[in-house]
Structures are given as C-alpha cells and as structure tokens.
Structure 1
C-alpha cells in the first residue's frame, strides 16, 4: 500500500513570497530529487533520423531540470528522456514537489525549467508575477475526471455534496482541487463562501483524513484511490464533466525561448511515452506501483483513469484557461484580473516547439 510514514526529504531553497497578495497563503517548497530507471518501452521510429538530428541541432543547455509531483511521473520512471537526450549531451535532473503550487514556486525562483501541473497553478503563478509560458496541454479522456473527487470518511453523516455547506473542506489552495471545488459547489447551488477552507497538501492531508479529523477532502489519485479502497472513503462527486481545460506542461519563458529544438524533442518523447501508456495501462501499473509503494490492484485503478498524452496550445484551449482565471477573479480569490495571453509564446515559437503528434484539440 501507499505508506503514510514515507518522509519527503527536504532540500532547502530560499523562501520567496510567491503569493504576497491578499488571500494568498505562503506555499511550502518541499521537494526531493530522484533518479530515473531506464525502460525500453518507447523507442524512436527511425534511429537514423535520431542520429542525424543529434548532429544538426544546436542546444544551449546541458542540464534539463524537470519538476514533478508526489503523485509520481511515468516519464521519470520509464527514463525515456534520459535515453533520448544523453546522446545530445543533455543531463536530466528531476525534483519532486508536494503539488502543483509548490512546483510553480520553485520554477519562479529558478530551481526548475519545466514541469507538469493542473489548470490552476499557472494562473496563481502568473498573478504573482512569475515569468512562465504554457508549453503543451494534457489531453482529457473520458475517464480523467474519475481520478479527482470530493470525499468524506467512511461513516460520515454527510450524504450529498449539498450537505458540505458550513463544513471545513481541505485541499491545497492554488491547485486543481481549488478550481474543482468551486465548480462543484456551483452545480448544487452553493457558493465558495458557504464552506470553510483549510489549505493543506495532499501528502499531509491524507493521514488526517484517514484518522477522521478532516470532514471533507478534495483530492486526486493516488491518494483518492488509496482511501477509497483501503479505508472506505465515500465520493460525493468526482470531476467528471467539471469543465476543465486540463493540465499543462509549463516552463520558464527564458528556457522556452532559448531551447526550442530541445523542447520539441522533450514534448515528442513525452507524448510518445503517453501513447504507449494509454495502450498498455496494466504494464504502466506494474512500473509505477513499486515506485509509489501502492498495491498493484489499486495502482491499476489509478492508471485506468489517468491521461498521459499531450495536446498543442491553441486559441480555443487558452480561451478555456482564461475562463478559469476569470472565475477565480470573480470569486475574489485573485486580487486582480490576469490575461493568460501574457503567458504564451508567439505562433512561430509554438510551431518550433510543437511536434506534429500533438493534435490541436480544445
């Protein structure tokens, strides 16, 4: 099972008040660095073409620093980036973070170059002045919403979502769960002000929820599957049909502008790995289960409702992302209105970094 006693070894980085504006909480910067096991599950279709590319492209960086979350990262586990980039003389360094807001904070202070997060963390980061850009989106599948939910402990007197009015609701502020709870409350005629919010990362909240000290928890896999299957947690509502544009790969503007050829290779490998994963979900579970210390049957559930492939950045996608930002502003969670267009590259720059495998879906 997923051990509640696992400690994340912190690396000290200087604290930065990423969210100094009213209503924002300081976000922790807990992270660990991990190495990646190599796995030959995803190879280039034309090795000769790869060799040719190795001799012709110009790279300005020799170290790629990638952030991922405590929920794990298949790209790290399979080692596909290391395999592709090593011949180019590029080393890959991984850093783990509790959730998306902590990852974005580290990016803001220059600790990582790129990372993958939900739809919400980039909005809060941009509002705080971070120089970030959207690199690619994550495709949403029919089962994606099953991996996030509003849950209550076994035996809770709360029976429906409407019953959480006046309750303490725990989630990480500035994460995808923040957007999810607002939209879910709308569906049952409640307002964000109808609940008492306590911000806490999933890695900290899990134990408290299991002990019964958290009445309502907004969380996602692997934590959700764990408490469902091992502790009888009840789901009041999952994120199916919640209307999210999905997650993203995000990077610093400086890195994106200086490394278009490298980014194209990175996104191509991530999407190829995702294509393999969606066709081999049971194999993915076997790879991830020992890394996260989760029993294989539970990990199979997690992998069965995960989404792994990427999609290109389009005007339609950014319009949906702007709607998310506007919602936070209308709820007075963001103190100022932001324009997501300011976190975009030019069409020419996107053409340079976007592989043809990334379909342009909304």
Structure 2
C-alpha cells in the first residue's frame, strides 16, 4: 500500500523528514501531502467556532494517514467524532511562543484583556494557551475580541496596533522582536507544556502496525539528525520561505535549537492537559462537546516509544 504522510513547516519534525529520504528506506511506497496545498476550509468566526483543521484530512479523500500538529487539533477532531489515536508527543515547547503586548501598552495583566483584540492562530495551540490564561484570570472567551491570525498577518497586525495583544510564535515572533521590544504578558512555561504531537486514524494504527512503526522509527532517526545538525536543518525552512520575511536562516536555526526533538509516549500529564483543554473549549462554545482524550490512547503505541523499545 501507499502510505500518505501529511507535512508542513509548523511541524518541524515531519517537514525535515520529508526532505531526508529516511522513511522511503523503510517503506516501499510513500506519498507526501503538503497541507498547504490542500483545499482551504472556509474561514470561521473565532468567537463561535473552532476549525477542525488537520484531523479532517485523516478521513477525507486526498488526505493522509499520519500527521503531526500542535496541541489543539486532535482535541477538536475527537469532539467532532473523528476516530483518531495519539502516536506520540514531543517534550515541552515552552520557548516556542508566548502572549505579548507592546512595551507601552496599558494592559498589565491578563485580566486587562477584557474587551481587547487578541490575536491567535485560531484552532492551534495558541487558542489553548489563551484559554488557559483567561481561565486563570477569571475571564472567558466571550470577554475578549479574538482575531484569527491564521488568516491575518500576525506580525503586521500586532506591529500596526490592530491587535492589543498577540500569542506569537517563533519565527514570526522573532520578526516583531527584531523591529523593536515587546513585553511578555504571560509565558507559556508554567501554563501548559505545549508539545508537538502526532496522530493517525484508529483503523490505520490497528491494521498497519508495521507501516506506522516504520514512520515512528524514521522520525526518531530524523529528529536525532536535526539535533546534531540544526543549521543544516534550518536551510530547509529558510529555502521554503523563499523571499518572505521568514526566509532567515539564523532565525530558523535559533528556533530549531530552542525546540525539543524526539518522540515520547503519551503521558498522564499530557492527557490531563488535553482533558482540561477539551473542557474549556466546550465550556466556551468552541467545541460541540467535551471529550476524554484517554479514549484516543493505544497502549502498544506507548510501548513502541518506551526507551527499551527504541
């Protein structure tokens, strides 16, 4: 069979794996699906809905069998009855981004965000970070004016004053920092672990264990190469960005050096965070229902990722 693997720059591990030819040595037929080339979903109102994003294409023609994303998309998929399972998680990516304001902003605490325009890539880990921060300040999603920076230029909107606050991520946050100072309103560290994670359909995991094992082993080999060769890995991202503001080799190298690589078993701490996110997303009207992420765990996959099995 042909195994279809989704990739895009936001999941650094899969993006590098796409360029290394490692998985092709383990699987006879691989097709890479660039998420950026898939038909765009219609924009959604960030005040009332959460896009299902990457979980959709696990179950639609022309999609993929395996994908890696940030924290929020699998929770969204589970709440929309997508029968997906977790494959593994990265270490914490707390240095990847944070909630920022301009140095002279009158916003001093998260509680001051009431009624303010806050930029997030809606449906990504940024939505979860903002919800966790709002809950800690006694606010809800309806207390702010969310702006979806997945369809707006986040750095431009923040720099121009269109946004009062922004959940920025590197390397885009680095573009803003290079232009001038920013003030951190809340760090990711201490709020949640913000790992990368990888998931697949339950039927693929159960019926194609050898193929899934080959993907996992290839990711582990590729991630080890990235850790040993961050500048060489950064070239893939800088070249892909072309002539845009993100085509900065030094900035990409810095981003890769600050991120954890390697796949780890799904932990109880991670599942607790996923459960909290699912509860908050549903309570704030961003999901149709709350879900238990433990339903998406297959014990044999965790065994595959234990140190003894590596």
Same fold (TM over 0.5): yes
The alpha carbon displacement at 1:116 in A equals 0.9
Alignment partner, residue 275 of structure 1:
224
Contact 1:70 1:96 in 2 (8 A): no
After superposition, residues 221-300 of structure 1 pair within 5 angstroms as: 221-230=170-179, 232-244=181-193, 246-293=195-242, 294-300=247-253
> Runs of 5+ in structure 2 lacking a partner?
42-50
Name the structure 1 match of 2:46: none
Q: Does 1:324 align with 2:277?
A: yes
Residues 139-288 of structure 1 mapped to structure 2, 5 A cutoff? 139-140=91-92, 144-153=93-102, 156-201=105-150, 204-230=153-179, 232-244=181-193, 246-288=195-237
Question: Mean alpha-carbon deviation: is it higher for 261-270 or for 316-325?
Answer: 316-325
Residue 80 (structure 1) shift = 6.5
- Computing the radius of gyration from Cα coordinates, the structure with the larger value is 1
| Superposition deviation, residue 218 in structure 1 | 1.6
The partner residue of 1:102 within 23, 35, 53 is: 53
Distance 1:121 1:203, change over 3 A: same
Question: Aligned to 2:55, what secondary structure does the other structure show?
Answer: helix
Q: Please give the per-residue CA displacement for 1:26-65, whole angstroms capped at 9, x wherever unaligned.
A: xxxxxxxxxxxxxxxxxxxxxxxxxxxxxxxxxxx22x32
Offset at residue 101 of structure 1 (A): 4.5
**2:20 is aligned with 1:67:** no
Higher normalized contact order (CA 8 Å, seq sep 6+, divided by chain length):
2
Given that 2:80 and 2:288 are in contact with CA atoms closer than 8 Å, whether structure 1 keeps it comes out as no
Match for residue 91 of structure 1 among 30, 39, 53: 30
Indicate the residue corresponding to 2:47 in structure 1.
Answer: none
2-structure distance, mates of 1:290, 1:245: 27
Mark the runs of 5 or more structure 1 residues left unpaired by the alignment.
1-60
CA contact (8 A) 1:225 1:301 kept: no
Distance in 2 (CA, whole Å) between partners of 1:87 and 1:279 is 22
* Offset from partner CA, 1:119-168 (integer Å, 9 cap, x none): 2111111111212111111122xxx2121111235654445444322201
Whether 2:254 is the aligned partner of 1:305: answer: no
Most deviating of 121-130 and 215-224: 215-224
- Return closer, same or farther for 1:300/1:112 CA change in 2, 3 Å cut-off: same
TM-score, normalised to structure 1's length? 0.70
Count of residue pairs the alignment pairs up: 293
Please state whether the residue corresponding to 1:136 is helix, strand or coil.
Answer: strand
Structure 1 residues 75 and 199: CA distance shift in structure 2, 3 A: closer
- Scaled by the length of structure 2, the TM-score of the pair is 0.80
Matches within 5 A, 1:25-104: 61-62=1-2, 64-71=3-10, 73-77=12-16, 79=18, 82-86=21-25, 88-97=27-36, 101-104=52-55
- Supply the distance in 2 between the matched residues of 1:136 and 1:92 (Cα, whole angstroms): 21
For residues 67 and 114 of structure 1, what CA distance do their matches in structure 2 show? 6
96-105 vs 299-308, which moves further: 96-105
Query: Counterparts of 1:260 and 1:322 in 2: how far apart (Å)?
Result: 27
For each residue in 1:172-220, what CA deviation from the matched residue of structure 2 results, as whole angstroms up to 9, or x when unmatched? 3322111101222344454433212233416643443343322222231
Distance in 2 (CA, whole Å) between partners of 1:118 and 1:244 is 11
- The DSSP-based 3-state class of the residue aligned with 1:297 is helix
Distance 1:175 1:278 in 2: 25
Mapped to 2, the partners of 1:359 and 1:231 lie a distance apart of 47
